[in-house]
Amino acid sequence: MRRMFWVALGLGAGVAGAVMSMRFLRKQTSKVAPANLARQARGGLMDAARLFSESIAQGREAMREKEEELTASLASEGSRPDPNGRAGTAR
């Protein structure tokens, strides 16, 4: 009777382990399927493109703010910018 119990327990554990392993393997193979990999890559590229465009926009905003700051400081000194883009200070 004891042997039958342990044999049954061993068989049950083996079957449960095999079923769990198969489910795990199916899930892992679906993750690395070409369609899923392409979708993940596209998502990564879209994130990178969004970050790049945001950084360009922030750079342009900072450039505009600095230009306004420099223009205001030149105006407060009483000098006017030259049409060529140079400060009109006397030499």
What's the whole-number mean pLDDT along residues 5-9? Answer: 95
For the entire predicted model, the pTM comes to 0.46
Given pLDDT bands bounded at 50, 70 and 90, which one contains residue 91?
very low
Instruction: Give me the pLDDT at residue 36, please.
Output: 84
The pLDDT tens digits for 18-55 are 999 999 999 998 888 888 888 888 888 899 999 999 99
As to burial, measured by CB atoms within 10 angstroms (0-12 exposed, 13-18 middle, 19+ buried), residue 11 is exposed
**Tokens representing residue 44 in the block:** 């990564």
> What's the mean pLDDT when you consider all of the chain?
87
DSSP label of 81: B
- Owner of token pair 């900072």: 62
